[in-house]
Amino acid sequence: MDSLVRSREPSPHRESTVNRRPALIAALALTAAAALSLSACGSDDSPKGKDNDKIAGADTGSKAPASPTASASAPAASAGRPKIELPADLTYTFEWPKTGDKDKDAVLADSEQSIKAVDLAIVNQNALDKAYLYYYEGEAAAGTETFVKAYVDAKARVTGAYRYYDATVNVSGKDSASLVYCEDQSKAYDMYLSPKKINKTPATKNSYVLYSTQMHKNNKGVWAIEKIVSQRGSDKCQP
């Protein structure tokens, strides 16, 4: 059985070629490499898409202090954001605590939800799931649709644990922002649904992915993702 490659590029947290997850079929690696890298695949044979792209701003901006337990607060439900409920076998650790800046913390909080929203679409087997479309627009939304569709076509979804860390956020003016962060996919896998089978792969250097996103604050007050790129196996993200 072919393995899926979870990359959040248009892989996704989550390569836009984004690498945000395990190993989806070759078709996903080729068409969604620039979309979203979602599920982590520890195999060295995983497609790399645009993983060698340079991540702009990786060493600049406001970096959240390290803390294994701290996490930016989720946006208030009153803001109209979709409720995201995922299976218990999917867990997330966001090691990017609050910065003390209202706008930067909002960027981090919406980014957390956007990562989970893509996984919800995969779990729901719906390439046009409303939750992720609430957070992704334009190029990023199109790439994410392709990424999710690859899982739907393969009758598979993601499972396991994802960790996000080393976040650097910049806010420009009132409605533009960028976020650079790392994703640990070493304990995340693809799960085929029929028959049910988890494709476990060993952790490698490529299990660690650097992401860079461009965002804007839309008329709903949501920090929506417009573009996302990733670099799988980035030295910056290695344990």
Q: Within 10 Å of residue 152's Cβ, how many Cβ atoms?
A: 15
Phi-psi region of 99 (alpha: psi -120 to 50; beta: other; left: phi over 0): alpha
**pLDDT averaged per 10 residues in sequence order, the chain, 239 residues:** 50 38 39 36 36 42 42 51 96 95 97 98 98 97 96 97 98 96 97 94 96 97 96 96
In which element (H, E) is residue 224 found? strand 223-232
The dotted CATH code for 26-237 is 3.10.450.50
List of residues 6+ apart from 26 with CB closer than 8 A: 2, 47
Task: Give 163's contacts (C-beta < 8 A, 6+ positions apart).
Answer: 92, 93, 95, 183, 184, 187
Domain ranges of the chain: 26-237
Per DSSP, what are the bridge partners of residue 216?
A: 176, 224
Which pTM was predicted? Answer: 0.74
The tokens for 235 are 């030295």
Amino acid residing at 40: A
pLDDT of residue 79: 62
The pLDDT assigned to 97 comes to 87
